[in-house]
Amino acid sequence: MLDRILIKQKTGNEPLIFNGKETGVKLLDFWSWGLSDLVSNTSRGRFAEFIVATSLKIDLSIIYDEWNSYDLTSPEGIKVEVKSSAYLQTWEQKDFSKISFSIRAARNWNSITNDMAETPSRQSDVYVFCLLKHKDQTTLNPLNLEQWDFFVLSTLEINNYKRSNSSITLNSLQKLTKSVTYGNLRNAIISEYEKYKNY
């Protein structure tokens, strides 16, 4: 069995090298080129995870593990799953996107043993649904955290949600919980976890 590759956090100043010489292109150029569109579904999802990580005061020097069975672990040990959605997209739209979040259970993959669980399940303690709520293309800025709303639900509540096993709409979320701002997100996550941790 091959050992797992240990990845060290990069600064962005690392150069691309060819024939033993620096090319003049740095890793930061790739990040700027490939990840500047924070509105696209893929980048927005990862950025939402980053936003939640910063609210939880997670150590950002430990790089993100995309193969984990949930997205984040808070310093208190709370396992958090993060989902995102937005009204505006980077493609041409006739109307705002309908807001829905995936809650599909998944087969857990163990990155140490390289084994996949046989039964799909939800591995987190808490779900955080991140809505980029801004509706004006000309002033849209995902870096402005006031343009986001956050909905926090325990995984127990998600497991008990009967309408769908795969997704939840904004309307359904609003019936189950109120949105919080970035400034209140950490407390909301801890409170939700404390409420249901003994069930």
Does residue 18 form part of some domain? no
Least confident of 72-76, 84-88, 101-105: 101-105
Place of tokens 């109120």: 178
Residue span of the structural domain in which 139 resides: 37-196
Q: Residue 144's pLDDT band (boundaries 50, 70, 90)?
A: very high
Residue 3 has pLDDT above 70, yes or no: no
117 alpha carbon, distance to own chain's centre: 22
Residue 99 has pLDDT above 80, yes or no: yes
**Quick one: 48 exposed, middle or buried, by C-beta within 10 A (0-12, 13-18, 19+)?**
buried
Does residue 64 form part of some domain? yes
Region 104-126 average pLDDT:
77
Q: How many domains does the chain have?
A: 1
Residue 46 has pLDDT above 90, yes or no: yes
Does residue 19 form part of some domain? no
Q: Name the packing angle between helices 41-55 and 182-196 (round to 10°).
A: 80
Does residue 111 form part of some domain? yes
Instruction: Measure the CA–CA gap between 197 and 199, rounded to whole angstroms.
Output: 6
pLDDT at 98: 96
pLDDT at 4: 65
Q: Residue 2's pLDDT band (boundaries 50, 70, 90)?
A: low
Does residue 174 form part of some domain? yes
pLDDT at 65: 84
With a pLDDT cut of 70, the percent of the chain lying above it is 92
